[in-house]
Amino acid sequence: MLKVDIIEHGTVVDHIQAGMGKKVLDILGIDEKSGNRVALVMNVPSQKMGKKDILKVEGVLISAEKTDAIALISPRASVNLIKDGKVVEKKQAELPESLHGVGKCPNPNCISMQEKAAGKFHLEGQKYRCEYCERVFKPAELL
């Protein structure tokens, strides 16, 4: 088992679907230029999931909006906010009933794509319907 340092102030995203850790980093807007201390552990054995990815980011407490966005690609992910070395909030990512400004419609003929309008989607079962073009998409297609 790989050992990664405990973080004092930041966010731990656990139970990320294996292979999706890099996409979570994209959602959080963290790259080599952001300067944050980041640990991404991939393909960690998991009783619940078989394999999972875990992400630790020092210095960033991620917003509820970003947590919702993580749910689009990894619906079982959990988000732990850490302050002074203690978990102060634990959030389970879940598909929100509606999305506004999170995700983009993948339909190239949708006006929201052409006019660069903020995407608006409503959850129907396990899929999202674009408020503009009215087509339905899998959550991961919106990112």
> Where on the chain is the footprint of other proteins (CB under 8 A)?
107, 109-112, 114-115, 117, 130-136
Q: Name the minimum Å distance from CB 99 to other proteins.
A: 15
Nearer to other proteins, 85 or 125 (CB): 125
Q: Which helix (H) or strand (E) holds 70?
A: helix 64-73
Q: Name the minimum Å distance from CB 7 to other proteins.
A: 42
Describe the crossing of helices 64-73 and 21-28 by its angle, rounded to 10 degrees: 150
Residue 40: phi and psi, rounded to 5, are -120, 115
Using the Cα atoms of residue 61, residue 24, residue 28 and residue 121 in order, give the sign of their dihedral.
negative
Nearer to other proteins, 58 or 141 (CB): 141
Nearer to other proteins, 25 or 142 (CB): 142
The 38-46 sheet, strands edge to edge: 38-46, 50-58, 10-17, 78-83, 86-92
Q: Name the minimum Å distance from CB 129 to other proteins.
A: 9
Nearer to other proteins, 84 or 115 (CB): 115
